[in-house]
Structure 1
């Protein structure tokens, strides 16, 4: 159980040691399990891992955001028709956005300008631009899905009416 919920082998060992120490402390005080010790131990390990992971999430900060979000190498696409349809849908969705959303997405995503520079161009603070970009991305996703739904699926053709035999 500890190996499944811990990030490293050392963390798993620490979880098991801490679980046994806590159970021993509870037993010395007259509490603890009288039956199903294994289930009690596994639950203790799982609870310690949850607590540890929650605390770790709060404590570990990314040293450099650019390193965390470094662009991954992309595999070339095999299906050029599908890529062309995706590009077309994306262009349609982008064109449906309000001009302000288009501009903020263009500056941040295409031109890759820093948030502070975009904030200066828009006369806003960086947090405001970040919130605007969040709404614009959400709007772009919704517009893309709407455009995709508008394309008829060739696999779902309606049956042709039968010609009357004369």
Structure 2
């Protein structure tokens, strides 16, 4: 690296992420270096969580993810805040895209056929949907396992078995109206847990545990006012939890937090 490059990097290293993104968006590519250095470790952790069997491929996912974010910023797009959340979502999508390409190559034995497949009218043929569906199903099942026994039970009857509230009421020993109410709460809990399941947990201080467990619900804006106030207060003074909360909010916006219909019943 040239001396001028070192000076430029040092000059921008004190700027916050939002300022650095604005500089890159204005054409100052050297302002991207501090962003890369700040977020490289967490980007690697996310990639190795998604591609656990091949560290080299995980590193390629990291490089591709950073490059995609840089390209988006240079054309004036991308986030204006929460760089880390945007980056981690990009890395997740990059890893998924690689899994789809690998599935195509296994089926055809021809990498060129994979490129041709991406030019078809259907941008996501059956085998690609199967790869992504398998990953999403694992998220849904992980979320389902995190629910309370009563929530799992009502979802088993109403969502998996397809029983009406009247049909499930005798099995749960409650009224049909109570079944509907419990199922509604259980579905919202599943949405929050499904969203939360997409995020790789990072070690946090013990004082953060009570907040981290509620961030999926917080991102869904489903916390009760008093709890939301407590979480907001904590996020205002804890950078680690703030980053995780921003990531969940980004995922909620960019991917959605609704498990696809029938995801718990198909394999």
> Structure 2-normalised TM-score?
0.27
Which has the greater radius of gyration?
1
> Structure 1-normalised TM-score?
0.43
